Structure 1
Amino acid sequence: MQEKLIYYFSQSNCEGNAAMRNLLGGKGANLAEMCNIGIPVPPGFTISTAVCQAYCQDNELSCDLRNEIKNYMAMLESDIGCKFGDSNNPLLVSIRSGSVNSMPGMLDTVLNVGLNDATVVGLAKKSGERFAYDSYCRFIMMYSSVVLQLDHHLFQDIVDSEQQKSGAKSLADLNVDVLKKIVNDFKEIVCEKTGKHFPQNVEEQLLNSVNAVFASWKNDRAVSYRRIHNIPENLGTAVNVQAMVFGNLNDNSATGVIFTRNPSTGEKKLFGEFLVNAQGEDVVSGVYTPMPIDGEQESTMEKLLPSVYRELCAVCEKLERHNKDMQDIEFTVQDGKLWILQTRSGKRTAEAAIRIIVDMVEEGAITKEEGILRIDPKTFDNLLHPVLDVKIDQEVIGKGLPASPGVASGYVVFSASDAEKAAEQGKKVILVRSETSPEDINGMNAASGIVTARGGMTSHAAVVTRGMGKPCICSLNGLYIGKDEKFLSMGDIKVNKGESITINGGTGEVMLGILPTILPELSQEFKTIINWVDEIKTVKVRANADTPKDAKIAKEFGSEGIGLCRTEHMFFASDRIEFIQKLIIADDENERTNALNKLEEMQKSDFKEIFSIMEGREVTIRLLDPPLHEFLPHNQSIIEKIAKSLNKSVESVKNKIAQLSEKNPMLGHRGCRLAISHPEIYGMQIRAILSAASELRKEKKIEVKPEIMIPFIMSEKEFILICELIKKEAENFDVNYSIGTMIELPRAALIADKLAKHAEFFSFGTNDLTQTTMGLSRDDSVNFLDSYKESNIFKNDPFEVLDVEGVGELIRIAIERGKKTRKEIKLGICGEHGANPQSIEFFIKSGVDYVSCSPYRVLVAKLVAAQLSISLLGK
């Protein structure tokens, strides 16, 4: 039986529903579902995503499909009572994309398909000459750009010129004679640029438009958007062919976009914009500044079209209740009749997303578990981004619409390509444009923030940046961009390309220079979500914290302990590094003892403060594991200073440094190998740890059980020797402690059963385990990893997403063998993979007790752990 490729939708005959999203795309599934629940939707049909997948291979529509489209057009003609291509009563259709995942503005649309020199006359008799030629202008311009691939500005320049001559503000203000002239000018451009007349055959228009929308799945901006948002390439887009309804028919007609809640704040209040006597593209293009749907002003829909406004409010309530989420709704009013063209879950800021979820749980619309599953970890992470320090003077030089909140500072650039180049050089930039278009997607992704001279709160710039979690200001008052794009000005203020500004997308304010920021104060809704997450997740989340300052931040972010304290990082401060350098280059026991005594004093103080901050929470301390090259002095003045303090010659110190240098220091004299060579180093650290714990118990009655972790183990004998060293030092202290090891070498994973005889815990150092398993360097592999991803050798960077096949298999083996020896062995993850959603899923399935990550990623890791507990364990 042949697979069904086209699905009809109308209120009397609907072949689809919301559950068919993968086949009908998001838009097609939602159109069908709206028909099913009685929402006024113009009828039409959806060509499925399966056709797109075939089209991407063959680059053409099959003959069978073309015939099928004709049959469905006949059904549509019967429903509407108009005929496609008829010179007296013409049916016009829109051809719109509809991918499975929302990709706002990235794929193509063609409106008013079916207009030609004959049908425009019939449309004029039926609905008025001015309207008919306005629609014909729009169709030729859009068809020429999308289907014929001609530069949009060739046509927009003509419109702008005619508007300037007559003083009109938009296409809708031009009289019919001017519109007829524009139509002729447009057709001349098409003929000149293509060598052919503008197509008059309406079936050719229809099929070519469908082709073009399918082809847009592979355009550069769509490919970039999918890469940025991790959308699979093989999903494809559906195409929706739908009867046109006209917001540009007369002054009792309109078009707009409305959100059922405020997408910036999450407030439960309708938020949207509309234009009278216009078509949908006018609202989102950024070319026109639309009017608010409701508010105090006279020019609102509530005032201008009160009955339609009331009906729209009822539709919004019905759609949100049915879909259990904030909706982004596109609508058209044709001569007082409301039509809904699309609904989807609306893009929203991180703050709004959290507030909406908490509100909807409290309203009883969704459960806590459903709410947690809806949170995008990246969105959650955005809430932790810095905000402006209000204590610092801020000179505001301009203000516009606060389209997407957040703060960003950077150097001004005026093109997407300049933003990309700057980002490649590690620079932060603010992209300033008259308005953005889908072609700017890579530059928008590269920029830290966006500013536009035009466009409203539902413009392309606003919607896309909200989805990206970047600050954006639209319609910046008085913004003028120089014709050569070398400067911008606002009144008397001039900012040249390359000079810095700061933008606050939450207030719409622009300030000169790069301003200082501070960590945000988290909202009550955010704290509520965290409480839910803590109730639901099944693994603990600890932090990687090396200093008292890190420990304090970790605790503030809700860390349940410290999973990795890298003791060598305690010595990076400028007033400490010379002592570790002296230790490394010491020639005799006396020199080494002097350095060790000083280091022991420092470490004891740090451990005591860290234990105090963590108030009895578990703290895993990794004994010294420095690749020596990170500490060896190279600066001449520092070498001279060390030589003087040790009463040595500069030459002798340089000779010692040369002796210690290693060709491959990541695999050299580090970790437990230092303790085998110089046991006094680990002896010093153990005394510092245990004396700190002992004193804290006496002074503050805080019980601490340090977890002492031995790094870079590859042999059971190594481990035994160092365990004996720890136990010997511990005889002098009445402190509970445990000993474990970091599994970061493949051999350690394979002998985990032997190590577990002596280890009470394993912590997997996935960064080094990835390096040593795959033969990749974290620092050097960046030079070729992109090529490997492009060639599909790697789907992801293995230092960001755990390599489950290789590194993951070693972790499985280590856990299985370790538990055979010691059933109750504690298992943790302390590499950077500990906050990656895909990796955490693997860790939970593998049975780890905790993951550990940087303090700033603790909350994201908690969220992911809760989401996985819900989806994997049915919590």
Structure 2
Amino acid sequence: MQQQRTFDPVTLITATAPMKADVYGGRAKCLQRLVRLDMPVPTTVALSFDAVHRIANGQMPAMDEVLFPFGDTPLLSVRPSSQDPDWGGPGAILNIGMCDARHAQMVKDIGEPLATRLYLRFVQSYAIHVARLDPEMFDLPANAGQAGLKQALDAFEFETDEVFPQDPAVQLAEVLRSMARAWEGTTARLLRQAKGAPADAGLGLVVQAMALGVGPGECGTGVIQYVDAATGQPQIKGRYLGQSQRREALGDVEGAIFLTHDDRGPSLEDLCPDIFARLVEYGDVCRRKLREEMSVEFTIESGALWILDAVRVQRSSRASVRIAVALAEDKIIPREEAVLRVQPTALSEMLHRQVDPSAERDLIVSGIAASPGAATGKIVLTASEAQASAARGEACILVRRETTPEDIRGMHAAHAVLTMRGGITSHAAVIGRGLGLPCVVGASDLSIDLRKGLIISPDGRQFAAGDVITVDGTAGDVLAGQPAMTEAALDGAFQTLLDWADDIRDIGVRANADTPLDAKTASNFAAEGIGLCRTEHMFFGSDRLGVMREMIFAETAADRRAVLDRLLPIQRADFGELFDIMQGQPVCIRLFDPPLHEFLPSDKAGLRDLAEQLALPLFEVSERVAALTEYNPMLGMRGVRLGIAIPEIYEMQARAIFEATVASATPVVPEIMIPLVSAMKEVELVKSRIDAIAASVAASSKVDFKYKLGVMVETPRAALRAEDIAQHASFLSFGTNDLTQMTYGLSRDDAGRFMSAYVQQGVYDEDPFHSLDVEGVGELLSIGAERGRLGRPDVTLSICGEHGGTRSAIAFCRSQGFDYVSCSPFRVPVARLSAAQLTLLDLANSDI
């Protein structure tokens, strides 16, 4: 048995010292790596997580042990060293050790103005951040001189009834205590938990000899990085400021100069060419040896170069992809590691315009972030207004209480959608993600006054139709005006990374695509076919809706067939275009699903138009619409129930599919999916009719073709009876939107009203419409998969609900041996990367 290594609470950082990031923090470990790479790092001592925790509880280490490496007259800095730099920590404290005696000596060495400035700066920092005194008492300019220094020392004594500490050991002890207590405070704990840190995350501290950056000769500080943080492209960036300390050179500071030669002004390359060349060399060493793009903080002291720190370059999503791919292409890291380094959400951000992180945000209302990206436009309150706006070439934002299928044309015309009602799987959310349209739903604090053409924010502000707003579907915010945007960025590195991911992942990824535009998007994102085509969305076009309404009002089967015969060539063309776009890849077509009332108007003006179209009395149309209205239409006459009660619809769709198959230029095996099944007999009835249509088309066309018939499992009973159902179905695709709705007894359109309260109070860990409930709904999926295989061992299994693009659902499907997941087209890249990462993590765990 290997003996566990022990670590000292206080350790001098050397090339051979035992130093681990989970004991002393990431900064301490990085400094050791810099020492090992022979970089000129000032003397540094690391305090472990345990030592800092003890300090917070009043147990100080032996200060003579901490101070010993720094000599008799130390001048020090203390900085935090958390395990992950993104978790933050208390701010650095510089110039510890400044006192009256050290000030007097430094006056002789570097002159009175610089020595006084350093002493004053330390007194200010100590008083505010260590002694926690009122900052206004010490609000003095850096060049306040001897009078300012005396004022600060007097203020400290007045506020604390003690003279400013003169012993470096006392100063250092108080700094360590203050930083340790700050880390363990409630506010700091909540802040780092928001960044993903565990509640009990430890903090290390590094005590480092000051490299002054002020004094005779060339002195100053700077920061250099070797890539553009926005694009990831190689580029030396940074600033250098003479006679300064730490990170003063950053930002728009008077006197700061460029690093590389620049016609606009002086540069460090011109001023100190040898030092600049060394910094460039160190950047290359860091990249090769630390296997990362680093930002290096440096100080020049009387012409000598010191490296104070190196941290991972903060980067945009685009840059994170570019950097990971470049490191792999240069053989610095393997491709598998590059795939693991990129967060899937980074790809999602790259696919859409985003609100610039530095832009000011005038918040109108917040809701549920339903579809990522951001868009600016004029407010419109109806679908027809959105279409009119698009015809004028004006960007618009469609604002509705909630959208219905009748709004689809308006959603196509809009640049973004905002609804008061709805959840993550509501109509607006699903269609928005499919279109790549920024969408915020469930903004229940918003009010809409259709008569006055206004929306009213929670704080009472009114915005009229035509006013400009911005929908941030990534954050779930609606903003006033037009903040600055960053553009979508799909470059070669994006595609390269996904190609590598495809070589690794072990589960298929298809797209939910309802229109040719959706299919083209899916194809561009390398989806392996269409896993769900919701055909009802094809019926809302201007050339189809009226015909569909005539069919609904037809009295007999013969009359319905006569009307549907007019839709047949349109549907055939729809499916033919999908087949052509997908070039022989699988296309899974779900037969007609929604209740018929969704195709009928509900307002008086719409009813009058329909009566005129059908040449029927208004009262007769109104009565018929009322008769078709259901108390709970999502659980009523829809899906397969319509297909059995009104078989002419499914017969027309099947004929259109098969005729498009025969006419397709590329061989295709269409997959026909029956929705909302709950009994084997339903499948038998529909299958017999579809088989008859297939035989009829084959006979008339004299072309043999194959097709697959499957079931969309979205009722609990279908999951429980999957063994019977699978005997008549070659595939089972789990529709997790409806399955979640029926399992929980929750309306997916209304749950947003109270879901945040449920999640906040721990009733549910997460919104089950946003993240697959693997315990409850997942058990039904497991049962359905197991029983489905009993009925048909070679049955194909998948999920096609909105969960399909989420990491947790992909992990679950892989564990259950599913064949593929299907998700909105713009989620396909994210799903491809997530699937690859999950495969790699499983392989790594299996090797342990």
With the length of structure 1 as denominator, give the TM-score of the two structures. Answer: 0.75
Equivalent residue in structure 1 for 2:57, among 62, 67, 71: 62
Q: 1:869 to 1:130 in 2, by over 3 A?
A: same
The CA deviation at 1:617 is 0.7
In 2, Cα distance between equivalents of 1:234 and 1:765: 40
1:329 is matched with 296
> For 1:664-683, what aligned pairs fall within 5 Å after superposition?
664-683=632-651
**Deviation string for 1:430-475 (max 9, x for gaps)?**
9xxxxxxxxxxxxxxxxx9xxxxxxxxxxxxxxxxxxxxxxxxxxx
1:407/1:425 CA distance change after superposition, 3 Å:
closer
Aligned partners of 1:421 and 1:203: how far apart in 2? 53
Match of 2:83, as an amino acid? V
Superposed displacement of residue 198, structure 1: 6.0
Distance 2:364 2:189 in 1: 20
Asked if the contact 1:353/1:375 (under 8 Å) is kept, the reply is yes
Q: Which residue of 2 aligns with 1:295?
A: 261
1:677-713 superposed Cα distances (whole Å, 9 cap, x missing partner): 22222222212211221222xxx2x211111111112
Q: Secondary structure at the match of 1:704?
A: coil
CA RMSD, aligned part only? Answer: 3.7
Map of 1:459 onto structure 2: none
Q: Is the 8 A contact 2:350 2:488 kept in 1?
A: no
Deviations 1:95-135 (A, max 9, x none): 32233333286743322234345554455455543333222
Alignment-derived partner of residue 331 in structure 2:
364
Within 2, Cα distance between the matches of 1:811 and 1:595? 39
1:801 counterpart = 2:771? yes
Shift in alpha-carbon separation, 1:832–1:305, aligned structure 2, 3 A: same
| Correspondence 1:859 to 2:825 | no
Partner of 2:228: 262
Aligned letter for 1:764?
Answer: F
Shift of the 643–218 alpha-carbon distance from structure 1 to 2, 3 Å rule, reads farther
Deviation at 1:378, TM superposition (A): 2.1
The equivalent residue for 2:819 is 849
- After TM superposition, give the deviation of residue 642 of structure 1 in Å: 1.1
How far apart, in 2, do the equivalents of 1:107 and 1:601 lie? Answer: 69
Look up the match of 1:136: 119
What is the SS of the residue equivalent to 1:755?
Answer: helix
Q: 2:283 matched to which residue of 1?
A: 316
Report the secondary structure of 1:730's partner residue: helix
Percent identical among aligned pairs is 35
User: 1:556-604 deviations in whole A, cap 9, x for unaligned?
Assistant: 2212110110111112334433433444455554653454333333222
The CA deviation string for residues 212-265 of structure 1, in whole angstroms up to 9 with x for no partner, is 4342576768845753x5454443433333332222345522222222333333
How many equivalent pairs are there? 733
Distance 2:148 2:738 in 1: 66
**Structure 2 CA distance for partners of 1:80 and 1:801, relative to 1, 3 Å:** same
Partners of 1:769 and 1:310 lie apart in 2 by 63
Task: Please state if 1:276 is matched with 2:254.
Answer: no
Q: Distance in 2 between matches of 1:192 and 1:718?
A: 87
The within-5 A match list for 1:82-101 is 82=72, 89=73, 91-101=74-84
Amino acid at match of 2:687: C
- Answer yes or no: is the 8 Å Cα contact 1:96–1:108 preserved in 2: yes
Partner of 1:690: 658
Paired amino acid for 1:711: P
CA distance in 1, matches of 2:619, 2:154: 82
Cα distance in 2 for partners of 1:314, 1:586 equals 80
Alignment CA distance shift 1:807-1:287 (3 Å): farther
Partner secondary structure for residue 300 of structure 2: strand
Matched, 1:539 2:507: yes
Equivalent residues of 2:87, 2:196 under 8 A apart: no
Aligned pairs for 1:235-250 (under 5 A) are 235-250=201-216
User: What is the match of residue 394 of structure 1?
Assistant: none
- Within a 5 Å distance, the mapping from 1:140-539 to structure 2 comes to 140-147=123-130, 158-159=140-141, 171=142, 174=143, 178-186=144-152, 205-214=171-180, 215-216=182-183, 223=190, 227=194, 230-250=196-216, 252-284=218-250, 290-297=256-263, 299-386=266-353, 413=360, 419-420=362-363, 522-539=490-507
- Corresponding letter in the other structure for 2:669: K
Q: Answer whether contact 1:265 1:352 (CA < 8 A) is retained.
A: yes
Query: Residues of 2 paired with 1:524 and 1:237: CA distance?
Result: 40
Q: Deviations over 1:656-682 (max 9, x none)?
A: 333333343333322222223222222
Whole-Å separation in 1 of the counterparts to 2:330 and 2:254 = 37
One of 62, 70, 77 as aligned partner of 1:80: 70
Structure 1: runs of 5+ lacking an equivalent? 83-88, 160-170, 387-405, 431-447, 449-497, 503-511
Alpha-carbon distance, 1:651 to partner? 2.5
- How much has 1:317 moved relative to structure 2? 2.1
SS in 2 for 1:258: strand
Q: Structure 2 CA distance, aligned partners of 1:201 and 1:347?
A: 38
Tell me if 1:622 matches 2:599.
no
Judged with a 3 Å threshold, the aligned counterparts in structure 2 of structure 1 residues 719 and 299 are, in CA distance, closer, same or farther, namely same
Q: CA 1:51–1:130 in structure 2 vs 1: closer, same or farther (change >3 Å)? A: same
- The 8 Å contact of residues 423 and 429 in structure 1, kept in 2 or not, is answered as no
Q: CA deviation at 1:738?
A: 0.6
Between the aligned partners of 2:76 and 2:28, the Cα distance in structure 1 is 15
Contact map agreement 2:240 2:257 (CA 8 A) in 1: yes
Find the aligned partners of 2:368 and 2:718 in 1 and give their Cα distance.
Answer: 40
User: 2:593, 2:587 → 1: CA distance?
Assistant: 17
Which residue of structure 1 aligns with residue 531 of structure 2? 563
Once residues 119 and 791 of structure 1 are traced to their aligned partners in structure 2, the CA distance between those partners, rounded to angstroms, is: 56
Match of 1:434 in 2: none
Distance 1:292 1:217, change over 3 A: farther
Moved more, 674-683 or 278-287: 278-287
CA pair 501-628 structure 1, distance change in 2 beyond 3 A = closer
- In structure 2, stretches of 5+ residues that fail to align are 377-415, 417-466, 472-480, 699-704
2:674 corresponds in structure 1 to 710
Residue 635 of structure 1: aligned partner: 603
Partners of 1:585 and 1:7 in 2: CA distance: 84
8 Å CA contact 1:675–1:722 kept in 2: the answer is: yes
Say which of 751, 761, 774 aligns to 2:721.
751
Residue 407 and residue 2 in structure 1: after superposition, are their counterparts in 2 closer, same or farther (change >3 A)? closer
The alpha carbon displacement at 1:748 in A equals: 2.0
Please give the alpha-carbon distance, in whole angstroms, between the structure 2 residues aligned to 1:429 and 1:111. Answer: 45
Distance 1:695 1:429 in 2: 40
Aligned to 2:12: 9
**Matched residue of 2:283: which SS?**
helix
Distance 2:106 2:774 in 1: 62
Residue 122 of structure 2 aligns with an amino acid whose one-letter code is F
8 Å Cα contact 1:541-1:858 kept in structure 2: yes
CA-CA distance at 1:192 after TM superposition = 7.8
Aligned partners of 1:289 and 1:220: how far apart in 2? 37
Which amino acid is 1:749 matched to?
Answer: A
Residue range with higher mean Cα deviation, 39-48 or 201-210: 201-210
Where 1:866 maps in the other structure, the secondary structure is helix
1:738 to 684, 692, 708: 708
Aligned to 1:29: 29
C-alpha distance in 2, partners of 1:212/1:206?
10
| Alignment-derived partner of residue 438 in structure 1 | none
Return the match for 2:691 from 719, 727, 730: 727
Equivalent residue of 2:685, what SS? Answer: helix
Distance 1:533 1:234, change over 3 A: same
- Structure 2 counterpart SS, 1:804: coil
Deviation per residue, 1:355-403 (Å, 9 max, x gap): 33333333222222222222222222333234xxxxxxxxxxxxxxxxx
How far apart, in 1, do the equivalents of 2:655 and 2:838 lie?
Answer: 40
How far the C-alpha of 1:326 sits from its partner, in A, is 1.2
| CA-CA distance at 1:627 after TM superposition | 4.7
The 1:727–1:251 alpha-carbon spacing in structure 2 relative to 1, beyond 3 Å, is farther
